[in-house]
Amino acid sequence: MNGALPADMTTMAVRELGRLMPMFLWIAPTGQICAAGPTLSKVCGAGLLSGARFFDVFDLTKPSPAATMADLARLTGQRLQVRLRHGARTALRGQIVPLAGQDGLLVNLSFGIAVAEAVRDHRLTDADFATTDLTVELLYLTEAKAAVMEELAALNHRLDTARNAAEARALTDALTGLANRRALAAALARAVDAASRGRRGFALLHLDLDLFKAVNDTLGHAAGDFVLTRVAAVLRAETRKQDTVARVGGDEFVLILPGQVDPAQIDAVARRIIEGLETPLVFEGRPCRISGSIGATASCLYPVPEADRMLNDADTALYASKRRGRGRATIYAPDLRLPEDRRAPEQPGPGAGGSGAG
């Protein structure tokens, strides 16, 4: 505390005033800061306030600029807005009361609505506020509200995650993790709509496993499940992220390949899938070999593509592959005729024949 105290402003009185108004300033007629409340000293830094002039520490922004003590005195009773010139430049609000006997001015400051930021920036606690100040209660309410909002946000996130997981399960085949019939229907509807609007065309492939029944009959359903998961892995490896791969039956799969309408491209994908399926597998020390037959069609073959018609045509091409001896791919054409059935009965054995395209 600097400057001579008036007779009615003892050191004890200043200390007690600081308890009631922890952000007060006593400004001498010369503009020198004679005393300050403990919280304001903490915010500004006691060394900064010691012996300083008011206008060296604070900028007066409202209601009007002031450069002299006379200017400041004329603002008595009005709401002030000031800002620290240094450091965090915290914004403050206050009011001026003139002291009797030409002893200067008493200014009581507060943080206003920026109290939460001030508490954070200056590491204030409830001890830095007067016991009658509602600021502490407001801060507790603010913290409680923030905690409630955080918990609500976390709850909403958990609900969104659970809903998304439930939707994913509803669209996913439980064994293979591929899309199921429901997901396929939605994806096919989108693909047909896009192609009908003149956007990107697509290929539709229907895959049926060959010799899968023999695996189930000789090695059991556990081996069958093992094979199906490996089939799913092959299909993922040979398709792109934007493709749809769905399991639609026990050993039947349907693929949607957006942007693939060239017969050579479709045939190349089908050949790679069949080659991958014919890689020998071993289940619990016993070999199990399968292959696959594929029927395919493309949206560009139709004036207006229709989901049911394309599925039927892909199915027709699939049966053509089956009748030609399995392990083959056939691309549908309007003049496609089913050949004579050359399939041999499925027997447990070393596996399927070589792949080929019809």
Task: Tell me the CATH architecture of domain 181-357.
Answer: 2-Layer Sandwich (3.30)
Sign of CA dihedral 238, 241, 242, 247: positive
Q: What is the pLDDT of residue 124?
A: 81
Q: What is the pLDDT of residue 2?
A: 41
Render the burial of 227-245: b for 16+ CB within 10 Å, e for the rest.
bbebbbebbeebbeeebbb
Q: Exactly one of 128, 208, 210, 251 is catalytic; which is it? A: 251
φ, ψ at 218 (rounded to 5°): -95, -35
In the chain, where the domains are located: 11-133, 135-170, 181-357
Q: Is 126 a catalytic residue?
A: no
pLDDT in tens, the chain (358 residues): 443 445 455 667 777 788 888 888 888 888 888 888 888 888 887 666 667 888 888 888 888 878 888 888 888 888 888 888 776 777 888 888 888 767 788 888 888 777 777 777 778 877 788 776 766 666 666 666 666 777 788 888 888 888 888 877 888 999 999 999 999 999 999 999 999 998 899 999 999 999 999 998 899 999 999 999 999 999 999 999 999 999 999 999 999 999 999 999 999 999 999 999 999 999 999 998 999 999 999 999 999 999 999 999 999 999 999 998 889 999 999 888 877 666 555 554 433 333 334 3
Residue 91 tokens, joined: 């914004």
pTM given for the model: 0.57
Name the strand (E) or helix (H) holding 213.
helix 212-219
What are 183-189's contacts with CB under 8 Å, separation 24+? 183/244, 183/246, 184/244, 184/246, 184/248, 184/254, 184/256, 185/307, 187/244, 187/246, 187/256, 188/244, 188/256, 188/307, 188/310, 188/311, 189/307
Query: Nearest to residue 179, comparing CAs of 234, 257, 243?
Result: 243
The CATH T-level fold of domain 11-133 is Beta-Lactamase (3.30.450)
Q: How far apart are CA 6 and CA 10, in angstroms?
A: 7
φ, ψ at 212 (rounded to 5°): -70, -35
Name the strand (E) or helix (H) holding 99.
none
Q: Identity (one letter) of the amino acid at 353?
A: G
Q: What is the pLDDT of residue 269?
A: 97
